[in-house]
Every structure is written in C-alpha cells, then in structure tokens.
Structure 1
Amino acid sequence: MKIKAIPTLVLSLVAMPVIAIAFLTWRGSFETKELKNYGEVTPFKLTERSGKEVSLETLRGKVWVANFIFTSCTSQCPLIMMEAQKVSKALLFKDNFRMVSITIDPMTDSPERLTKYAIEWKADPFKWLFLTGTFGDIKALMHDGLKVPTEVEGVELMHSSKLVLVDHLSRIRGYYDAEDSRQMKKLLRDSKDLLKKAF
C-alpha cells in the first residue's frame, strides 16, 4: 500500500500548481478589464440646487457619474433619471461616490426648480448633485470638459442620453447609454470597480 501511495502523492503535488494556474487564468478572464482613459475633465464652476458653488475641485477625490437633464423634459429624462436613481441607490453608502445631474436648460432650471425636481426623484442632497449655471458654462462643461456632443442640426445644446463615469483623479473612464440596460449594468460594475481600486 505504501509503495502505491508514493506515486499518487507525487502526482498530486505536481497537479496542484497546474490546477491553481488554470483557476487563476479562468478567474482573471471574468475580472473587469482596465477602463479606457478619455482624458481629464477641464475645470468648471456651476451652482448646485442648494445655492452652493460646485467646481471640479469639489468633486476631485470622488468617483462620479454625470448625466444631462432638464426639468420640463418628458422624453428621455425620466429614463435617464430612473437609471441614475438605480446607480445612486446601489452606491448610497459609498462615501466617495457622487451622482451629478446637469441641466441643459439653465434659463428655466433655477436652483429652486432643481430642488423641487430632485425631491420628486427622492435624490439624496449630499450624494446627488443638481447643477445649473450660465448657458456658456454648461456648454463648455459638456463639450470641452466631459467631451459630449452638444450641437446637431442647428440645435445649439443637444440633449444626450449618455451617462459619463469620472474617476477620483477627474479622468473620464466611460460613456454609457441610459437606453441600454446592459450598459447601465456595466456602469454600476465599473463604478464599483473604480471605488474598490481607489479606496
């Protein structure tokens, strides 16, 4: 019995590293791939629904997701807000995460109007920011800062269904379409991954 046991033990010792390597390779294929870097967000200053100024420095050190809405919108905005709400709720207890909704109709969407809109969506006032400002500042943030198309067929400030993921170093790491459920799931996964790696 002892003579037969020795080859078996040797085979087991040889096989274990092979199995371990195969397992790690298999597991690695399912891990999140390194996200692209689309460049840094350029500096900006806008007004939050609370009346406080919010700048790029305010959000530096945070992972955040930007989206574009206006309070009188009845087409894409409800879907965008619903998807943003899901992500915000899933990451509610992550201190270093912020959801950032930016109006593209600053003439109408005053801080007071945005406050009412935020309450309707049960947005946490500390974790979900609603920003307004001058038309020029918002366009600059969209086009230059977040690199989102702003003009099409004569429309100077185009609405976008894209949500933009920004990491703690203010680098743009992804664009996700609110109308695609698979992309929304990926947004949540990628947000969690950035939070895990940074903090």
Structure 2
Amino acid sequence: MSPKKVLLLGVLLIVPVLVYLFLKVFGTNHYTLRTYMPAIEDTGEPVMQNGDTVFHKIPDFSLTAQTGKTVSQQNLQGKIYVANFFFASCKDVCKEMSSNLQQVQEAFIKEPNVKIVSYTVDPERDSVAVLSKYAETYGANPDKWYLLTGPKSQIYQLAQEGFKLPAMQAPSLIPDFIHSEKLLLIDEEKHVRGIYNGTDEEDVERLITEIKVLLQERKQHVN
C-alpha cells in the first residue's frame, strides 16, 4: 500500500474518534439557570466569599399542611420546589395561580424531586379543613403539593424576608390581603432560580421548561 493510501486510511479512521471527542466535550448542553437574590451586606454591597457572590437562601420554617401534618424544610431536603402565596377565599388571582399550578403538578406528577408549596396569607380563616377542601378543588396531591397554614407572623415574615415578596393584610376597610402573584422556583440548595407570573400561561410554560433544566443540572451535579 502506498504512503498516500496509508495516510488517507489513517485520516478516515481518526476522524470519527475526533468527532466523538468533540461532541463529548463541547456537545453537552451547558445552559443553566441564573441564581437570584444575592445576599447583601449592611453597606449595600453583595456578600462575597472566595471571590464568588453569596446568594440568599430561603430560611427554615415549620407549618401545617392540608393533611394536618407538619411540613418543614426537611420535607424539601434535596428537592426542587415551586413556592407561592395565596388565600382560599381569593376570587381571581389565586384561582388563576392555582389552576396554573395544577399544570405544573401534572407535568411532574411522576418526578419525586419536584414539589409545590403554597402558603396562605389568611391563616386565621384558612384552617386545615379549609385548605383540604381547596386542595380537592385543584386536585392537589398531598405528597406533591403542600398547602400550608400557621401563625400569621411567621408566614408574613417568611414571605417578606425569606422570599422577598409582599404579604400583608389590606387596610381595615378592605376585607382582603395583599400578596404577590409570583411563582418562585427554589433549588435543592434553597436558592431562588426563577421568578414567574403565576397568572400568565406562557410564563408558567417557561417555569415548566426551566424546572426540567434544573432537574438536568441536578443530575449532572449528582453524577
């Protein structure tokens, strides 16, 4: 065999190997979600550690679910979850959010690492019995979707300081509550990885897509 033919054969044999290595190194989807809410110093500057930004973490809590069982961050250990604030007697925004959260639940009903956590801002009226009935209305699986009630002060502090969302009783002349329509995506490290309009179907579709991205990111970390 002539030297030219040997060289050509060598090239033909090595090209597939090079293509495989290229795809293995550069072909992996490295798209990742941003992390929200950097921790802030008293000076107003972001907290830094070893040259990296330190991000705010959702604090621990202990509240009561629609089943009467206590739910805390221990139930969410190593999980990805979607959080929102609502109240059962809300006639418009909360209904839209809950309907959209049904779609999120259905999309991940067989994925044990995804949960939904809804906190009531009207705990004085939203008892376990009320939340249980509300859960039935929206088909909330008690192992997948927690509807939580508890001391008002704890819930409001969690909303305002933990999730950085508004939560308060409206002025006395208005029998209502002020709360956000946002859905927050929380990763297994308790960091906020996404913020969405819970009444916007397109934004909820984006949430579903980004949960899948976060699950893939989680698998890569595990592996």
Considering the TM-score relative to the shorter chain, is it more than 0.5? yes
**Stretches of structure 1 lacking an aligned partner (at least 5 in a row):** none
1:11 deviates by 10
Write the deviation string for residues 3-48 of structure 1: whole angstroms up to 9, x where unpaired: xx99x999999x999x999999x978x8644322432101111111
Of 117, 120, 141, the match for 1:103: 120
Aligned length in residues: 198
Aligned positions of 1:94-133 closer than 5 A: 94-133=111-150
Query: What is the CA–CA distance in structure 1 between the aligned matches of 2:170 and 2:87, rounded to whole Å?
Result: 20
User: Which shifted more, 95-104 or 173-182?
Assistant: 173-182
2: distance between equivalents of 1:181 and 1:23?
35
State the TM-score, normalized to the length of structure 2. 0.73
Matched, 1:52 2:55: no
Q: Show the counterpart of 1:176.
A: 196
Flag as ranges the 4+ runs of structure 1 deviating above 6 A: 8-13, 19-24
Cα pair 1:35 1:173 within 8 Å, conserved = yes
Instruction: Give the deviation of 1:49 after TM superposition.
Output: 1.1
Which 5+ residue runs of structure 2 have no aligned equivalent? 38-55
C-alpha contact 1:49 1:115 (8 A) present in aligned 2 = yes
Amino acid at match of 2:103: K
Corresponding residue SS for 1:144? helix
Cα 1:54–1:152 change in 2 (3 A) is: closer
Residue matched to 1:188: 208
Q: Quote the RMSD (CA, aligned, Å).
A: 3.1
For residue 35 of structure 2, what is the aligned residue in structure 1?
36
Structure 2: which amino acid aligns with 1:53?
A: T
**Whole-angstrom CA distance in 2 between matches of 1:134 and 1:151:** 13
Say whether the 8 Å CA contact 1:49–1:112 is kept in structure 2: yes
Partner Cα distance (1:179, 1:9) in 2? 61
Higher relative contact order (CA 8 A, sep 6+): 1
Distance 1:143 1:157, change over 3 A: farther
TM-score normalized by structure 1?
0.81
For residue 192 of structure 1, give the secondary structure of its aligned residue in structure 2: helix
**Structure 1 residue aligned with 2:183:** 163
| Conservation of the 8 A alpha-carbon contact between 2:165 and 2:179 | no
Distance 1:32 1:168 in 2: 18
Deviations 1:85-113 (A, max 9, x none): 11111011101110111111001100111
What code does the residue aligned with 2:201 have?
A: S
Offset of residue 152 of structure 1: 9.4
Question: Any conservation in 1 of the 2:121–2:168 contact (CA below 8 Å)?
Answer: no
CA contact (8 A) 1:32 1:190 kept: no
